[in-house]
Amino acid sequence: MQAKSFAGQGQRMIKIRQFNAVCVNCYEEDDVLTIGIGDDAHAPKNFIIIGRLDEDELPVNKCIGFQSDTTEYEIADAIQSVKLGADKLAIVLNNDAAIEADVKEYHVFIPMTKDIELLKKYLQEVFEGSEVTFILSWISTKMSFCFSEDG
């Protein structure tokens, strides 16, 4: 795990937390979509969990929760944007959630051996209909693709 802090003159500190994913789990159980990513399959020191449980009376953003090793509990409506690349997942929290987590951005490096297509599918399902900016991008030396999907 690596944590970096950045701030320009007169700006607030931005903390970026980075780790390598060893375990990526995506599943649905009892109508809850769950994505769990950690640096160990059994006892991760660094992890993120994103879950979605739709409730009729709540807007979609409030139905999406975020938890990490830096939060005490799941935070609803915490995610501002998500970008999934060929080997990296970047999650940016909104300002309120960043204060609770003491981290603004999470950068997770995902080995090519992990099932990136399953992660992509679950991320699309979790953020469908939400106000979260969701970007998929794959960059190679020969060509580059970048598109965004509005939820």
Count of beta carbons in the 10 Å neighbourhood of residue 123:
23
> Which amino acid, residue 3?
A
HSE at residue 54, side-chain half, CA atoms within 13 A, is 11
Supply the pTM of this predicted model. 0.82
Lookup: tokens for 127: 């953020």
Per-residue pLDDT at 115: 81
Exposure letters 93-103 (e unless 16+ CB within 10 A, then b)? bbeebbeebeb
pLDDT digits (tens, 9 = 90+) for 105-137: 999 999 877 788 899 999 999 999 999 999 998
Q: How many domains does the chain have?
A: 1
Report the C-alpha gap between 55 and 114 in whole angstroms: 31
Tell whether the model's pLDDT for residue 92 goes beyond 50. Answer: yes
- Which domain, by its residues, includes 51? 2-149
pLDDT grade for 86, boundaries at 50, 70 and 90: confident
Taking residues 83-95, what's their average pLDDT?
A: 95
Tell whether the model's pLDDT for residue 139 goes beyond 80. Answer: no
pLDDT digits (tens, 9 = 90+) for 2-58: 555 444 444 455 799 999 999 999 999 999 999 999 999 999 999 999 999 999 999
